[in-house]
Amino acid sequence: MHSPSPLPLVDLPVRRLTRGDLVSCADLSEDRGWPRDEHRWGLLLSAGTGYGIAEPDGRGLVAACVVMPYGPRLATVGMLLVAGRHARQGIARRLMRHVMEEAGPTPLALYATPEGQPLYEKLGFAHVGGAQRVLGRFRAGDGAAAAPDPAVATRPAAADDLQAMVRLDLPVFGIDRTHLIARLPAFSDRLQVAEENGELTGYAALWPSGEAHVVGPLVARDTATAKALVTALAATTDRPLRTDVDARHEELLGWLVERGLEPGSRTSVMTYGIDDLPGDASRRFAPLTIATG
């Protein structure tokens, strides 16, 4: 009698991930040179649906990804990672096919790294935009020219701002994302709102990732408001800042670079089953994370 030969990895079952998989997910991130980001994985696995393929010996994961549902009109896919030791064996394709089957008719969107783009193109995703990562130490500068626009007032968000943030966000993201916005006070180290005549005109969160602090989401009426929110958040941390700015917002990007941040990787916004992201890109400066949109 001999034991049956083990299944090729690509035939192993895909299973749902739970918060119990947090450390294995963080191990995968680290394996690919990303920050471990257990904090971000925690948010994604509680607000979204994680899928993964476990190592045959049960120790850790071969691959993972997260789907963030936004009702029947959209779901986003993020954190697609395959352990380097198992690369180029069709595992990412397998996991994506599974995600697409589960999504059924729901359109999908994602931010693709250069490594992920060929796979998504082969699966039928189309390029509809881009995001530019910038990172580094933010210099507030000195002198009047460096100060944020005095006409834009910002302040830390209070518990009773949440309703107004959800209302402001709806036309900007294009779909209700209360399930994520409601988690921002616990997830973020700082949540800031911009206000004019008692009306919110923008909001932004600051959350920890590795050695950095990430600004996102960044939703604002205009670039001056976005700058004021970033300046206020940057003043609350000594860590380097990171954000993924919608590539259309060149003025904000140029200003962030003037303020000391450096351009990093660029991701491509890709969609499947929908021509473009819903909502109002002119007020959508940065996503919460590139895994959620």
Ligand X SMILES: CC(C)(COP(=O)(O)OP(=O)(O)OC[C@H]1O[C@@H](n2cnc3c(N)ncnc32)[C@H](O)[C@@H]1OP(=O)(O)O)[C@@H](O)C(=O)NCCC(=O)NCCS
Q: CA 287, CA 203: separation in Å to the nearest integer?
A: 12
Q: CA 77, CA 75: separation in Å to the nearest integer?
A: 7
| Region of 115-123, 193-201, 220-228, 248-256 interacting with ligand X (CB under 6 A) | 115-123
130 scored as a contact of ligand X (CB under 6 A): no
Q: Closest distance between ligand X and the C-beta of residue 34, in Å?
A: 7
| Region of 39-47, 89-97, 220-228, 242-250 interacting with ligand X (CB under 6 A) | 89-97
Q: Closest distance between ligand X and the C-beta of residue 107, in Å?
A: 17
Tell me whether residue 81 or residue 241 sits nearer to ligand X (CB atom).
81
| Region of 11-19, 44-52, 87-95, 192-200 interacting with ligand X (CB under 6 A) | 87-95
Structural contact between residues 174 and 271, judged by C-beta atoms closer than 8 angstroms: no
Chain positions 14 to 43 lying near ligand X, rule: CB under 6 A, are: 32
Structural contact between residues 279 and 174, judged by C-beta atoms closer than 8 angstroms: yes
Provide, for the chain, the percentages of residues in helix, strand and coil under a 3-state DSSP scheme, each rounded to the nearest 5: 35, 30, 35
Q: Among 50, 52, 116, 293, indicate the residue that binds ligand X (CB under 6 A).
A: 116
Q: Among 12, 119, 126, 162, indicate the residue that binds ligand X (CB under 6 A).
A: 119
Tell me whether residue 56 or residue 141 sits nearer to ligand X (CB atom).
56
Q: Prior bond to 105 cis, omega within 30?
A: no
Residue 27 main-chain phi, psi, to 5 deg: -60, -40
67 scored as a contact of ligand X (CB under 6 A): no
Category of 38 on φ-ψ map: left (φ > 0), alpha (ψ -120 to 50) or beta: alpha
Q: Among 89, 209, 237, 282, indicate the residue that binds ligand X (CB under 6 A).
A: 89
| Region of 16-24, 51-59, 75-83, 258-266 interacting with ligand X (CB under 6 A) | 75-83
Beta 284-286 vs 190-196: how paired, if at all? unpaired
